[in-house]
């Protein structure tokens, strides 16, 4: 029988059907849709109701194709949320984490609550858009939402609520709020109190792999379908992606490569110490009690935004066209640090890249190929830098890097990543998050025993492309230059 995963990334969403037969997973893409944010006045929002509509479209497509669905689950990007009022309705339209309302919020909060204390309680890296800073910014702005709020739900919690009528807070996403204490294993009540945020908004935490209700009768009658069980999985998409890494060795490094590049390793216990805080590594909760010791890298967002800017000026390129143009451009001509704050917000990204290069004494890349080459080489070199930090912090040495996510369709980036790190890259599967969502549903149903059995099955079900490192001397030299111009040396 089939199960269904809804995986909502920051750039697109999809519904994947999964079937498990004789320890082989087969997946079929049922529905794919863009997830375009909407700017209204000064605010950048997610189009949350459109996402509800797209989830219903996925359910309808299953019905029209006579696919009987045993269960469904949803995962999405982290940190964002909505409030539910006393009447059970959504208050406002959730903000996008790239909205500017958190500019400066981190520094302001640190003046009241030291960074050391926040990290000590949560083990979460500091990113200005973390839920804690979003809530703080809403408080500072006297947002009327806060007076009306009765419950706090992360995006997948919210979508699940719309489907089932039940409100639950799922574990993996809860950890990304920077309000969850992994040592206590619960929301950090003292931290919430210090922030002046009511503890009562936050419900009991549901672990990945537990049932979370049934499709409501109103949805079923609207769509003309029977009710279906809904599961909580690792509803943070990166948690699902890492669950699907087809590693055979318990010590492994991964790169979840989509809008963001998330690089790190899996650990049994959160690593909360001075070095982790100084290197700004995070400890996000995962499946089967695991944690992801990782660091965010700005990722293919920078390329997505360039593409959007070119589109605005009437020039449309597909991703394969952009990759082909980079291949023809001159190598190692200019580098950026993709994690510079100037690349976080939406905007004219080619102009931002040129301005970064000017400020760092480099000749700015002008044409499309040169800009894309600059982004992809800089990402590959940043991967080398962060892989080194992951080894230092975890005390492990990795003999290669697993890459999952849509970014592995970019074969040039995979090859250059292998060159930059001087180790093999094992690429696959591309639909990591959706597959991680599926396997946790199967674990919950007793079809797979645990994450390690699931990883074996994934390994046997999907191809992994191996990229061996090439041109080590050139990349070594480029790395030195990259460190110098970015100031990372
Ligand atoms: P998210 O889940 O964050 O929305 P995905 O994992 O779907 O992101 O990855 C999307 C990214 O993958 C795109 O921004 C693009 O850079 C890259 N990508 C997808 N398809 C291709 C392709 N055919 N060639 C090159 N790159 C691709
Ligand atoms: C990737 C992701 C990442 C978060 C970011 C907000 O989609 O979930 O793990 O840091 O979005």
Q: Is 282 in the pocket of ligand 2 (CB under 6 A)?
A: no
Percent of the chain with pLDDT over 90: 100
CA 319 – ligand 1 centroid, Å? 8
For residue 262, the model assigns a pLDDT of 98
What percent of the chain clears pLDDT 70, i.e. is strictly above it?
A: 100
- Per-residue pLDDT of 10-35, as tens digits, reads 999 999 999 999 999 999 999 999 99
Q: Are the beta carbons of 130 and 190 closer than 8 angstroms?
A: no
**pTM over cut 0.85:** yes
Residue with CA at minimum distance from ligand 1 atom 22: 409
Which residues, in sequence order, are CB contacts of 296 under 8 Å at separation 6+? 125, 127, 260, 261, 262, 282, 339
Residue closest via CA to ligand 1's atom 21 equals: 409
**pLDDT at residue number 411:** 98
Q: What is the pLDDT of residues 85-130, one digit of tens each?
A: 999 999 999 999 999 999 999 999 999 999 999 999 999 999 999 9
pLDDT (average), residues 262-277: 98
Q: Residue 111, exposed/middle/buried by CB under 10 A (0-12, 13-18, 19+)?
A: exposed
Q: What is the pLDDT of residues 362-389, one digit of tens each?
A: 999 999 999 999 999 999 999 999 999 9
Per domain, the residue ranges of the chain are 2-232, 245-428+449-489
pLDDT of residue 74: 98
Q: Of 7, 80, 157, 237, which is the active-site residue?
A: 237
Superfamily of domain 2-232: ATPase, nucleotide binding domain (3.30.420.40)
For domain 245-428+449-489, the CATH architecture is 2-Layer Sandwich (3.30)
Mean of pLDDT values over 434-444: 98
Q: What dihedral do alpha carbons 159, 165, 167, 168 form, nearest 10°? A: -70
Half-sphere CA count of 362, side-chain side, radius 13 A: 23
414-425 pLDDT per residue, tens: 999 999 999 999
Tell me whether domains 2-232 and 245-428+449-489 share a fold: yes
- Which pLDDT score, from 0 to 100, does residue 307 have? 98
pLDDT, residue 429, reads 98
Measured from the Cβ of residue 409, the count of other Cβ atoms closer than 10 Å reads 14
In the predicted model, what is the mean pLDDT of residues 253-258?
98
Residue 414 CA to ligand 1 center (angstroms) comes to 12
* pLDDT for the residue 14: 98
Residue 429: cis peptide before it, omega within 30 degrees of 0: yes
Sign of the four-CA dihedral 415, 421, 427, 430 = negative
Cα–Cα distance for residue pair 390/296, rounded to 1 Å: 12
pLDDT, one tens digit per residue, over 207-235 is: 999 999 999 999 999 999 999 999 999 99
The confidence band for 133, taking pLDDT boundaries of 50, 70 and 90, is very high
Query: CA 109 → CA 82, 121, 398, 423, distances in Å?
Result: 21, 15, 37, 41
297 CB near ligand 2 (under 6 Å): no
**pLDDT tens, residue by residue, 319-367:** 999 999 999 999 999 999 999 999 999 999 999 999 999 999 999 999 9
**Please, which pLDDT band fits residue 467 given cuts at 50, 70 and 90?**
very high
Q: What is the pLDDT of residue 60?
A: 98
What angle, 0 to 180 degrees and rounded to 10, lies between the N-to-C axes of helices 368-394 and 472-486?
90
Q: Which pLDDT value is given to residue 181?
A: 98
Residue 304 Cβ contacting ligand 1 at under 6 Å: yes
Tokens for 249? 């060795």
Per-residue pLDDT at 334: 98
Position 226 scores a pLDDT of 97
């Amino acid at each position: 029988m089939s199960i269904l995963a809804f995986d909502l990334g920051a750039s697109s969403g999809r519904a994947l059907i999964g079937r498990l037969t004789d320890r082989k997973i087969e997946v079929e893409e049922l529905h794919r849709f863009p997830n375009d944010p909407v700017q209204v006045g000064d605010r950048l929002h997610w189009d949350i109701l459109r996402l509800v509509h797209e989830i219903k479209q996925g359910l309808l497509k299953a019905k029209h194709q006579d696919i009987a669905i045993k269960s469904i689950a949803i995962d999405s990007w982290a940190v964002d949320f909505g409030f539910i009022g006393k009447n059970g309705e959504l208050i406002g339209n959730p903000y996008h984490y790239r909205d500017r309302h958190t500019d400066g919020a981190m520094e302001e909060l640190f003046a009241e609550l030291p960074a050391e204390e926040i990290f000590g309680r949560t083990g979460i890296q500091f990113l200005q858009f973390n839920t804690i800073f979003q809530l703080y910014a809403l408080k500072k702005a006297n947002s009327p939402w806060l007076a009306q709020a009765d419950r706090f739900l992360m995006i997948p919690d919210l979508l699940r609520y719309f489907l089932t009528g039940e409100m639950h807070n799922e574990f993996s996403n809860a950890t990304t709020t920077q309000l969850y204490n992994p040592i206590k294993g619960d929301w950090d009540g003292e931290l919430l109190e210090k922030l002046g945020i009511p503890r009562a908004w936050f419900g009991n935490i549901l672990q990945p792999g537990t049932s979370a209700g049934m499709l409501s009768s109103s949805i079923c009658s609207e769509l003309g379908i029977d009710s279906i069980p809904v599961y909580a999985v690792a509803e943070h998409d990166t948690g699902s992606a890492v669950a699907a890494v087809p590693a055979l060795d318990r010590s492994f490094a991964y790169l979840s490569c989509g809008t963001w590049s998330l690089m790190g390793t899996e650990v049994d216990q959160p690593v909360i110490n001075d070095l982790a805080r100084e290197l700004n590594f995070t400890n996000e909760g995962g499946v089967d009690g695991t944690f992801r010791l990782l660091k965010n890298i700005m990722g293919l967002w920078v390329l997505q935004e360039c593409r959007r800017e070119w589109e605005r000026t009437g020039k449309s390129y597909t991703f394969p066209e952009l990759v082909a143009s980079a291949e023809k451009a001159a190598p190692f001509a200019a580098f950026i640090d993709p994690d510079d704050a100037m690349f976080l917000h939406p905007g004219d990204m080619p102009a931002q890249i040129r301005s970064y290069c000017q400020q760092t004494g480099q000749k700015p890349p002008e044409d499309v190929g040169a800009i894309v080459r600059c982004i992809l080489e800089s990402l590959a070199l940043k991967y080398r830098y962060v892989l080194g930090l992951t080894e230092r912090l975890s005390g492990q040495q990795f003999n290669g890097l697993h890459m999952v996510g849509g970014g592995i369709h970019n074969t040039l980036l995979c090859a250059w990543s292998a060159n930059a790190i001087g180790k093999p890259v094992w690429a696959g599967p591309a639909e990591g998050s959706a597959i991680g969502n599926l396997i946790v549903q199967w674990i919950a149903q007793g079809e797979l025993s645990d994450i390690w059995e699931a990883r074996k099955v994934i390994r046997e079900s999907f191809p992994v492309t191996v990229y061996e490192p090439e041109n080590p001397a050139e990349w070594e030299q480029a790395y030195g230059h990259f460190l110098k111009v970015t100031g990372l040396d």
